[in-house]
Amino acid sequence: TERTLSIIKPDATKRNLTGKINAKFEDAGLRIVAQKRLHLTKAQAGKFYEVHAERPFYDELCEFMASGPVVAQVLEGEGAIAKNREVMGATNPADAAAGTIRAEFAESVGENSVHGSDAAETAKEEISFFFSGLEIVG
């Protein structure tokens, strides 16, 4: 089985949506095998999103990710990376399919409630950014 890194973003923790979002993951057959709530500094958010450093929205993105608590989690399941992205929906909630997390909860293309790794290699890197092996219990 595959693992992916998920983040419930500050816009969602602020609106007390952690449980509703986790229910979407679990209903889709994804298992939450690690989870913690933390408040990133802007520098930590910048490091996590380093791949986007040249994008025009980078500063805004880092500011947002440090604006409140996040919940970092490892999701496990068959095809977890793709399945998670399916449950999340498109980056822009206006384009997200009905029933997806972003269609139901996201506020804008920036404040879009969740992050999910986009490939096997990034999943591995992103999981180890937040968790040690001991903290992941499958």
Whether 115 is a known active-site residue: answer yes
Report the partner that residue 57 touches, choosing among Mg ion, ligand GTP, none (CB closer than 5 to 8 A by kind): ligand GTP
DSSP state at residue 35: E
Token reading at 55:
């994008």
CB of 134 to ligand GTP, least distance (A): 26
Largest Cα–Cα distance in the chain? 39
Report the partner that residue 69 touches, choosing among ligand GTP, Mg ion, none (CB closer than 5 to 8 A by kind): none
CB of 1 to ligand GTP, least distance (A): 21
Alpha-carbon separation of residue 114 from 18, 21, 97, 98 (angstroms): 10, 9, 15, 16
Q: Residue 85 annotated as binding?
A: yes
Per CB under 5 A, the segment of 2-10, 69-77, 93-101, 112-120 that binds Mg ion is 112-120
DSSP letter for each residue of 96-113? SPTTSHHHHH--SSSS-S
Q: Specify the residue, 23 or 51, whose C-beta has the smaller distance to ligand GTP.
A: 51
At which residue do the structure tokens 């496990």 appear?
76
Question: Which amino acid does the sequence have at 44?
Answer: Q
CB of 117 to ligand GTP, least distance (A): 7
Q: Residue 3 annotated as binding?
A: no
Residues engaged in binding Mg ion (CB under 5 A): 118
User: Would you please indicate which residues are annotated as catalytic (active-site) residues?
Assistant: 115
